[in-house]
Amino acid sequence: MIAAQLLAYYFTELKDDQVKKIDKYLYSMRFSDETLLEISGRFRRELVAGLGRDTNPTATLKMLPTFVRSIPDGSEKGDFIALDLGGSNFRILRVKVSHEKKQTVQMESQVYDTPEDIMHGSGTRLFDHVAECLGDFMEKQNIKDKKLPVGFTFSFPCQQRRLDEGLLLTWTKRFKASGVEGMDVVQLLNKAIKKRGDYDADIMAVVNDTVGTMMTCGFDDQRCEVGVIIGTGTNACYMEELRHMELVEGDEGRMCINTEWGAFGDDGSLEDIRTEFDREIDRGSMNPGKQLLEKMCSGMYLGELVRLILVKMAKEGMLFEGRITPELLTKETIQTKHISAIEKSKDGLTKAKEILTRLGVEPSHDDCVAVQHVCAVVSFRSANLIAAALAAILTRLKENRGVARLRTTVGMDGSLYKMHPQYARRLHKTVRRLVPDADIRFLLSESGSSKGAAMVTAVAYRLADQSRQIAQTLEEFRLTRDQLLEVKKRMRTEIQNGLSKKTQDTATVKMLPTFVRSTPDGTENGDFLALDLGGTNFRVLLVKIRSGKRRTVEMHNKIYAIPLEVMQGTGEELFDHIVQCISDFLDYMGMKNTRLPLGFTFSFPCRQTSLDAGVLVTWTKGFKATDCEGEDVVGLLREGIKRREEFDLDVVAVVNDTVGTMMTCAYEEPTCEIGLIAGTGSNACYMEEMRNIETVDGDEGLMCVNMEWGAFGDNGCLDDFRTEYDRSVDDFSLNPGKQRSEKMCSGMYLGEIVRQILIDLTKRGFLFRGQISETLKTRGIFETKYLSQIESDRLALLQVRSILQHLGLDSTCDDSIIVKQVCGAVSYRAAQICGAGMAAVVDKIRENRGLDHLNVTVGVDGTLYKLHPHFSRVMIQTVKELAPQCNVNFLLSEDGSGKGAALITAVGCRMRQNSST
């Protein structure tokens, strides 16, 4: 639909031939939707160019960063001053935001004149005038003794590197004060205030009036993320993703961009739609060739555009019977306020007659109708061009957010938008046609842009306070080097207690002997069965190991689920289920008649008395099967096999998954003498000197010790490092008071620690608008895999938000940043604690051997180590810093619990053979 059709009602009283004649002049001012979409596309290309580092210098849209990173969230409070300089009037407000039951805003303001001679004089005079007005206002408010935060609405193009800095790029709107362009207006104002010396002010933010409009509306509607002014001048701002803003450091979160869209077309991109009248206006302006869109759309120029059209029509005898008066030829005798009056549907024609009569042209009724039509086309063109530019911004927001339908609010201000009888309605209609897949609310800024400056200041105040409090909360998770050395020292003490016969019973780090006395030497050969029980899934494997020049390991496996009722039922039910799974696997492999040697990876704390006997000390990881703790698990397995009476197996070894991890890596790398699991649980093992293991007879050679370091801290030795969140996670766990170190650094618990912190921050009003959702109240909802995803460097905040939304958490961009910070702090500490424990182990091995320097390899497995984007790097760095005399290489294990169990079985068979010969 084109503008002409919408304007059809204006022609009813015009003769057909007259309409045609007028149309000749106005045809190029009317646009179809296709043309508007084409203009919108051009605008979007310029917008992208303005955001790019290399393309910004030549872009007409300067896309100036404002360093406003958040809109109001409803929790702001305080007493603020706002200054608003942007036209011939200068306004000062005092804005009090309080919280009694609901957020309220009280405002008191005063308007001061900015005389023409000051606007065109020196910069020093201008800022002395502002400082004088501010002093007068503070005197009247009786607040000269207070240092209140000030927000400065400065409605001219500024370049900002901080929120409290604004370098004026160029004066607009008839201002021409010398010595200001290129200078920081905050510094100039501070200098003027200092010179007076009778009051002090803390200028926290310099804000463009468009940003002020967005923030004012954002206070009433938190969906508001666009600000548009259509008044004397025109401009827009919106919240852009930082990752797209190449001129600003960082890529987390959003920042408000001041588009300075009045300059769109300054590169000639609007030449095909500019008319002879637009060119004449530009030639006669103070800044020819600049602000071309503004000259086609804003209140400063529309009246003059209409006057130029009327002059030309009169000259050609189409109006006023060809009468041209000196008044009609005088610049700016028709103003935009006159257009608004003429276009009123009730008394518009009467107003037209009055205005034209004052210009001495003696209008007829037909003249008045024609002039009304000219005004309508000029103002309609303005609304259409603004709609095309705004449609480009809304489409950009939609793409940034990756949604099928955009829901947003646009904050609006400006005299043309507010005073013109048809303008707002036309603009809204056109925008909705150009962006059909969006629900757009247009919200009028009630108190102009000045309140917005106070809001920016209030938000800056809130964010600074919030950041400080969040940093304070997360500070507990950042362990210093001294704290980590203390953790390492305490781990050494606990290792010693676990190895010593006297203290072993009360030791928390149990240092359990595994009776694995050697790592693989390459001669292992044969077919072995491996069982792997350590979580909700259970695996049965056939491992074929071949020695010789080309050593090979071939594996076949099947995974079986362990239902919760079996995990937490009786021991007999659990082992019958395991034997049933073995039976199914042997059928599957066609090997039921072969008595295979078997290694049983049993990833729970066991006290071993030999390689093939392990007494379960305690269940972990959610297992609760009865009649198992204190029993030999190999015996329980053999009894289960016997009950089934289908097959027989030679159970050679009961294996901990950590030991299996070490053995797998040692098969590839002979220097591997340590195993580490950093996954659902956390544990380590290493080859200890027999002479140091007082709980086992003999002091020749080495034996692998299963540390069971997850219980480190169960005696309270880590209490000074535990936070209230750790205590809460522990209190609500299946085994309160147990496995305290594991609860600080293993995958099973990190997500739960994060959830506890998020609940606390939400209660304190820093997250999710202070609303604790049912989802957030659900234990275990925040799985550790989400930490890995959220902390991924490749993941934009948009994707972080979608993860949170998947969890039922309706988050803003700011929420996503905070959640990412929390996840980072929790996983960082986990890696640090793990690293401190490992540093204690490698230093112990080095000292055992009396070496100045140790080269050693750690075989590692576990989802946290493998999948988390930063865990391994932080842990390795921590080991490096805390054990500088050790060169520690970390080798990722390939199936420690399966292949490792078979290798231990193979080594056990080899050693059994050797001892029998």
CA dihedral (861, 865, 868, 873) positive or negative: negative
Q: Give the C-alpha distances (Å, rounded to integers) separating 450 from 168, 214, 215, 433.
A: 19, 11, 10, 32
CA atoms within 13 A on the CB side of 839: 26
Residue 201 per-residue DSSP state? -
Q: From CA 313, how far away is CA 297, in angstroms rounded? A: 21
Instruction: Say if residue 663 is exposed, middle or buried (CB neighbours under 10 Å; 0-12, 13-18, 19+).
Output: buried
Using an 8 Å Cβ cutoff, are 738 and 710 in contact?
A: no
Q: What amino acid occupies position 5?
A: Q
CB-based burial, 488-505: b 16+ in 10 Å, e otherwise: bebbbebbebbbeeeebe
Q: Give the C-alpha distances (Å, rounded to integers) separating 785 from 321, 780, 782.
A: 81, 12, 8
603 is catalytic: yes
Catalytic residue among 70, 382, 445, 603: 603
Strand 102-113 to 512-513 pairing = unpaired
CA 13 to chain centroid = 59
**CB count in 10 Å sphere of residue 357:** 12
Residue-by-residue DSSP string for 141-167: HT-TTS--EEEEEE-S-EE-SSTT--E
Residue reference for tokens 């997500």: 751
Using an 8 Å Cβ cutoff, are 235 and 258 in contact?
A: yes
The three state secondary structure string of 102-130 is EEEEEEEEEEEECCHHHHCCEHHHHHHHH
Catalytic residue among 396, 539, 755, 910: 539
Left, alpha or beta for 682 (phi > 0: left; psi -120 to 50: alpha)?
Answer: beta
Residue-by-residue DSSP string for 8-26: GGGGTTS-HHHHHHHHHHH
Using an 8 Å Cβ cutoff, are 236 and 261 in contact?
A: yes
**In a 3-state reduction of DSSP, which class is residue 529?**
strand
User: Which residues sit opposite 408 in a β-bridge?
Assistant: 440
Identify which of 248, 274, 269 has the alpha carbon closest to the alpha carbon of residue 60: 269
Residue 474 phi, psi dihedral angles, 5° rounding: -80, -15
196 is catalytic: no
Identify which of 455, 462, 460 has the alpha carbon closest to the alpha carbon of residue 162: 460
Using an 8 Å Cβ cutoff, are 77 and 71 in contact?
A: no
Residue reference for tokens 């940043």: 817
Q: From CA 564, how far away is CA 580, in angstroms rounded? A: 17
The stretches of 568-648 forming alpha helices (DSSP H) are 571-589, 633-644
Residue reference for tokens 């829901």: 407
Give the gyration radius of the chain's Cα atoms: 38
Note the residue count of the chain. 917
CB-based burial, 216-226: b 16+ in 10 Å, e otherwise: bbbbebeebbb
657 is catalytic: yes
Q: From CA 616, how far away is CA 608, in angstroms rounded? A: 9
Strand 526-533 to 537-546 pairing = antiparallel
Catalytic residue among 657, 726, 815, 895: 657
Q: From CA 707, how far away is CA 498, in angstroms rounded? A: 8
CA atoms within 13 A on the CB side of 326: 0
Interior CA angle at 782 toward 777 and 786, to 5°? 155
Q: Residue 683: enclosing H or E segment and its boundaries?
A: strand 682-689
Cβ-Cβ contacts under 8 Å for 607 (sequence gap 6 or more): 510, 512, 614, 615, 617
- Please list the active-site residues: 539, 603, 657
